[in-house]
Structure 1
Amino acid sequence: MDAMIDPKASIGANVRFGAGVRVYANAEIGDDCTIGDFCILGHPGPGENDPLRLGAGATIRSHSVLYEGSTIGPKLETGHHIVIREKSQIGENLRVGNFSDIEGTCRIGDFTRLHGYAHVGKGTQIGDFVWLFSLTTTMNDPLPPSHIHDPVTIGDMVTVCVNAQCMPGTRIGRGCLIAAGALAEGEIPDGQILGRNGIEGPVNFAMHMATRTRHPWHKHFADAYPDHAQDRIKALGTEIEAALLAAM
């Protein structure tokens, strides 16, 4: 099945399309992108929207849908069956796992990671170097269904573990660790562990006893990022550690 590419779409150099791809007129695709089978780019959203602007070097895997109106930085990587809705602003090298969705008007920083089945509610604000593991949810309606809109904010270098739920209006400070199955709500200060029973202490209390590996993660996981991100990771880690010392 041939790709259906509107002649009004802007397509960069060395872009590769799989079978059954549809690209709408309101799409701008950067150089060196790979678009897998049966993807849709520039899908129409409600109202009038700017083009979908997809940065260079993206890898979009099969059955993914990216709406018009979003601006996405270079080196986006997706799993299969993901959705990114309209009017989101996304930085460099976002990775989105299978069956995850970003529900529009979101702001996501650089080098953020979403594992499979993550749900990012409309209007969520996410910083740089953030991890959302599988089955995490960010919500935005405190009295569903209603027209009240109170999205979640997640600071830089936060880790949200499997099946954690972030309630509407939650503000998670930089460097926090939200434990698996935890319910996050309200204000969570920088560098704290949130467990199932509330705040459990600073993140440097979190340790893997067998290896003596300790949070914050920038000390043991920075090698997972490219060279040009290293100074930013080091600076953020230093700031989070300083905030922990100041709070003691």
Structure 2
Amino acid sequence: MESSLIDPAAKIGRNVTFGHGVRVYGNVEIGDDCRIGDFSVIGHPSAQPDTAQPLRLGAGATIRSHAVLYEGSDIGPALETGHHVVIREQSMIGENLRLGNFSDIEGACRIGDFVRMHGYAHVGRNATVGDFVWLFSLTTLMNDPLPPSHLSDPVTIGDMATVCVNAQLMPGVHVGRGSFIASGASAHGIIPPGVIVTGPDGEIAGPVRFMMHMQSRTRHPWPRHFTDAYPTRVHDRITRLAAEIEAEAAAAAQND
């Protein structure tokens, strides 16, 4: 704490701890029981200072070293980051986002509850990510359809979708709820709910419910076998949402 620079205008809750070399700007509200790691920057000034709003960081956050959180975002409780992450301004983030090492959220994004982003994930500006979404390492959510340009066509990912390692979500793609983007796939266009997308052409390979690990006989969708990875209080919510998505996927398949 002695080596940190905390603006006296910042609003800081109870039981908040700071590592060495932390910078907290004045336009910040930090909830109770947060831990801020070494050399992190909380409330970094926005590139658009005339429209800047406070950074609101919910209770129970764990911010690991060298994180940079810009002013102007509203982050729900129990954020957990890895090292060297960036969250830009004007983002709305739900409960218990886990953001892996060297990942970045490039601002004006909408991130749901209990989202998991592994290391080196890149979320382009204005993206929308639903609840219980998984983004594995090196996934890229693009937004410029003619780079470099001033055009913006952000990505939308529905609830409970899974995006695997090194997948690319092209500008404007809408990933349906519960869909599965395979490793190395390039997803584009409108993707129905509950399907598997594979390969550089983003081909739909079939329904997610047909996916199975042969040795263990474990089947997707993942709520059938992975609900225990979340707090008990949200298990019913996961079950209801999974049932909605399976019904939606079945209806979409019948209409094809």
Normalised TM-score (structure 1): 0.99
CA drift of 1:61 comes to: 0.1
Distance 1:244 1:35 in 2: 42
Query: Which residue number in structure 2 is paired with residue 224 of structure 1?
Result: 229
The reply to whether residue 100 of structure 1 matches residue 87 of structure 2 is no
Distance 2:250 2:195 in 1: 12
Could you list the per-position Cα deviations for residues 150-191 of structure 1 after superposition, in whole angstroms to 9, with x for gaps in the alignment?
Answer: 000000000000000000000000000000000000000000
SS at match of 2:240: helix
CA drift of 1:199 comes to: 0.2
- 5 Å-filtered alignment, 1:7-156, equals 7-47=8-48, 48-156=51-159
> Which is worse superposed, 127-136 or 39-48?
39-48
SS at match of 1:190: coil
CA drift of 1:81 comes to: 0.2
Query: Which residue number in structure 2 is paired with residue 186 of structure 1?
Result: 189
Contact 2:139 2:163 (8 Å CA) reproduced: yes
- 5 Å-filtered alignment, 1:231-242, equals 231-242=236-247
SS at match of 1:150: coil
Distance 1:32 1:2 in 2: 20
Q: 2:207 aligns with which of 202, 215, 225?
A: 202
Which structure 1 segments of 5+ residues have no match?
none
| Counterpart residue identity of residue 26, structure 1 | N
| Counterpart residue identity of residue 22, structure 2 | V
CA drift of 1:241 comes to: 1.4
SS at match of 1:145: coil
Normalised TM-score (structure 2): 0.95
Distance 1:17 1:75 in 2: 16
Contact 2:66 2:83 (8 Å CA) reproduced: yes
CA drift of 1:244 comes to: 2.9
Contact 2:36 2:64 (8 Å CA) reproduced: yes
| Counterpart residue identity of residue 37, structure 2 | G
Distance 2:224 2:198 in 1: 22
Query: Which residue number in structure 2 is paired with residue 3 of structure 1?
Result: 4
Contact 2:182 2:196 (8 Å CA) reproduced: yes
> Which is worse superposed, 22-31 or 42-51?
42-51
Distance 1:245 1:43 in 2: 46
Distance 1:79 1:188 in 2: 30
Could you list the per-position Cα deviations for residues 43-74 of structure 1 after superposition, in whole angstroms to 9, with x for gaps in the alignment?
Answer: 00122211000000000000000000000000
SS at match of 1:236: helix
| Counterpart residue identity of residue 235, structure 1 | R
Could you list the per-position Cα deviations for residues 188-210 of structure 1 after superposition, in whole angstroms to 9, with x for gaps in the alignment?
Answer: 00000001150001101111011
Query: RMSD value over aligned CA atoms?
Result: 0.8
SS at match of 2:226: helix
CA drift of 1:227 comes to: 1.4
SS at match of 1:238: helix
| Counterpart residue identity of residue 23, structure 1 | V
CA drift of 1:245 comes to: 2.7
| Counterpart residue identity of residue 209, structure 2 | N
Could you list the per-position Cα deviations for residues 86-135 of structure 1 after superposition, in whole angstroms to 9, with x for gaps in the alignment?
Answer: 00000000000000000000000000000000000001100000000000
Q: 1:213 aligns with which of 201, 218, 228?
A: 218
Contact 2:144 2:152 (8 Å CA) reproduced: yes
